[in-house]
Structure 1
Amino acid sequence: MRMLATLALLVATSTVAMADDTKVKLEYKFAVGDVIRSKVVHLSTVETKIKGTTQTAQSRSISTKNWKVQDVNSQGDATFIHSVENIDMWQKVTDRPEQRYNSDKDDVPPAIYTEAAKSVGVPLAKLTVDQQGRLVDREQLGGTPSSESQILPILPADAVAVGAAWYSPDDITVRAGNGAQKHIKTRQVFRLQSVSGSIATIATETQILTPIDDPMLKVELIQKLTRGTIKFDIEAGRVASQQLDLDETIIGFQGETSVMNYLGRMTEELIPEAPAKVAAVPMAPKKLKPTPKPAEPVSKPKKEEVADGKSWDKLIEGSAEQETFELEEPVAKMASKPERRDMDGVPTLADPATKPAEEEELKLASPGKE
């Protein structure tokens, strides 16, 4: 009996190991005529302290992104038109009036949102990406040109198993405190955390590889220092959702005592295609029986107050709290503070002595593609 139990345990262990070693192919899948819509939310709070004066700037934007696939070539490269269907924006800066703009409700935007308003409902760019998500070509059609070299999470060229990592290098040009331009080497790190059904969970973070001593350079780079999680639908071949968080503090960017705290979050969620409507057969209304009224208690309990009545969740949903939102609950107190993950033991701002072993890298370039 004991031998059978031991054998069963060995078989179970072997099965788990095989499951962990199973490789999956992650690649984007597009077809001509596809319309891919997603809800994108950006939240940020930036607190700066300079010479004893503190200023807090909060912002929130909600938009619907629209990609219409026009062509897919024999290699799987997809060309699509990028546009924004609508935007809802809000900003609050210390000692200044709030600024709001909703493209569905407001005819005239505040001056601060004029350019954003011009970008709604018009083709913004014609983009071509390969099956790994790398940008092959970009043609600006309207709006403000983007300097982003990556518009999709990069996927590995080969099939990978849970625990495997791959990298996407990038060079960023920033301006130093003295006005000179400096080229900074960065890379996006991706690691397959798990696969459940058709959903692959991928952890990601940006690493700055060039040593940086100038605090002003760090300010220029701060919005790049994100980390988060991507949910990729393997069967559909597209991102189901993603969340990228940013939590950085920079000291000495304008004098020794100056401090900047930057907290941000970007979420994106795929909007499912609306199912075809089927005409319903009218039914006779049901007769409702009167519900007996319960006895009144001696004293009614007070309605419980919602602890997060002024939370960003309610602000995002456009509830009544939007009009009474106060700065006592800034975005810095979001529902959950970004969780710090150490990927390969590398700090966000690179320490050359602690770079990960390069032999673990998976080459991103496909044969014959640069």
Structure 2
Amino acid sequence: MTRQLASLVLALALPLCVLAEEGGKHLLQYKFKTGDTLRWEVDQRSSVTNSMEGTTQEAQTKTVSLKVWKVIDVTPDGEIEFLNLVERVRMENKLPDRAAMVFDSTSGEEPPPGFEDAARAVGVPLSSIRMSPRGEVKGRDIKHHQPAADPHEQVTLLLPEGPIAIGDSWNQPIDVLVKVGDGGQKTIAARRKHTLKSVSAGVATIQSEFQVISPTTPEIDGQMAHRMVKGEIRFDIDNGRILSQRLDVDRRVLGFAGATSSMHLLTRLEEKLLDGPTSVASKP
């Protein structure tokens, strides 16, 4: 009788354990409505110091912009289509032996030489993105071609496929095309590794790190340096959107352009959601 009672207690307790385990997991998904408009202020800064043949030079850049997503459709199965644009931007470049150059899209002045493409990209749809609720890009229609645009730029944060517990990780595979030798090219396998660090008051804190999987050389490392970001992202679980993120690079590369060359790259990207979504009466 005692053994039967123990078996019955175990049988009843097992589903409760399963429920408790499920209760400790969190489902991260984007949750938008047709007509939503979301705005993030983005602050990007970088400093790169190059040493070649006994000469050292440093260049600095700073960009503050207003990134906007305009949601134009949400299908019954949850797929989201939005327009990606930049409403305003202020850029400052400081190159060796030159005065700092500044472009501010709100000034009404003509852009300085070298900023023409950036000026033309302000206030116009850059692309139309269609993604799943977890941020998997299903389609991309380029609306405004930007010659200097990075084809591997992360437009969306890929979320996990299902509920996850604190400490769980998921990967976002990516292939990067780099230059090798005299005019050659090579595909480098990499990934963005994300880990759920904590959940507090409905906000998930996610650790994110870019990792290179393929073998590399100093020449390739020099081209990959700016991608080697590491930092944290805060995601609003209830409302299904990124609240903020901070991603840093601190990378040194020796021999990227010859045996005596060296590079030290420092970058920081900080992004913050300015306000809640604003509904509009009709699609743009």
With structure 2 as the length reference, what TM-score do the two structures score?
Answer: 0.87
Q: CA separation in 1, counterparts of 2:270 and 2:138?
A: 25
**1:274 Cα deviation after fit:** 8.9
> What residue number does 1:38 align with?
40
Q: CA separation in 2, counterparts of 1:108 and 1:171?
A: 38
**1:218 Cα deviation after fit:** 1.0
- Larger mean CA deviation between 172-181 and 232-241 belongs to 172-181
> What residue number does 2:30 align with?
28
Q: Which runs of 4+ in 1 moved over 2 A?
A: 18-21
> What residue number does 1:237 align with?
240
Residues 92, 106 of structure 1: alpha-carbon distance in 2 compared, 3 angstrom cutoff: farther
Residues 146, 139 of structure 1: alpha-carbon distance in 2 compared, 3 angstrom cutoff: farther
**1:55 Cα deviation after fit:** 0.4
- SS of the residue corresponding to residue 251 of structure 2 reads strand
Deviations 1:86-128 (A, max 9, x none): 0001010121121101010142011111100000111111111
- SS of the residue corresponding to residue 115 of structure 1 reads helix
- SS of the residue corresponding to residue 220 of structure 1 reads helix
Q: Per residue, is there more strand in 1 or in 2?
A: 2
Q: CA separation in 1, counterparts of 2:22 and 2:246?
A: 25
Give the alignment partner of residue 177 of structure 2, picking from 173, 178, 188. Answer: 173
Residues 149, 45 of structure 1: alpha-carbon distance in 2 compared, 3 angstrom cutoff: closer
> What residue number does 2:123 align with?
121
Give the alignment partner of residue 95 of structure 1, picking from 71, 94, 97. Answer: 97
Per chain length, whose mean CA-contact separation is higher, i.e. which structure has more relative contact order (CA < 8 Å, sep 6+)? Answer: 2
> What residue number does 2:4 align with?
none
Residues 135, 215 of structure 1: alpha-carbon distance in 2 compared, 3 angstrom cutoff: same
Give the alignment partner of residue 207 of structure 1, picking from 196, 199, 211. Answer: 211
Q: CA separation in 2, counterparts of 1:76 and 1:93?
A: 46
- Larger mean CA deviation between 215-224 and 260-269 belongs to 215-224
Q: CA separation in 2, counterparts of 1:207 and 1:48?
A: 23
**1:20 Cα deviation after fit:** 11
Give the alignment partner of residue 157 of structure 2, picking from 153, 160, 169. Answer: 153
Aligned identity (percent) is 36
> What residue number does 1:137 align with?
139
**1:269 Cα deviation after fit:** 0.5
**1:154 Cα deviation after fit:** 1.0
Cα RMSD of the aligned pairs, angstroms, is: 1.7
How many correspondences in the alignment? 257
Q: CA separation in 2, counterparts of 1:21 and 1:203?
A: 22
Deviations 1:49-78 (A, max 9, x none): 111111000000000011110101122111
Residues 60, 229 of structure 1: alpha-carbon distance in 2 compared, 3 angstrom cutoff: same
> What residue number does 1:80 align with?
82
- SS of the residue corresponding to residue 111 of structure 1 reads coil
- SS of the residue corresponding to residue 193 of structure 1 reads strand
Give the alignment partner of residue 189 of structure 2, picking from 152, 176, 185. Answer: 185
What are the residue-to-residue correspondences of 1:1-370 with 2, within 5 Å? Answer: 22-144=24-146, 146-148=150-152, 150-212=154-216, 214-273=217-276
Based on CA coordinates, which of the two structures has the bigger radius of gyration? 1
> Where does structure 1 lack aligned partners over 5 or more consecutive residues?
1-17, 276-370
**1:215 Cα deviation after fit:** 1.4
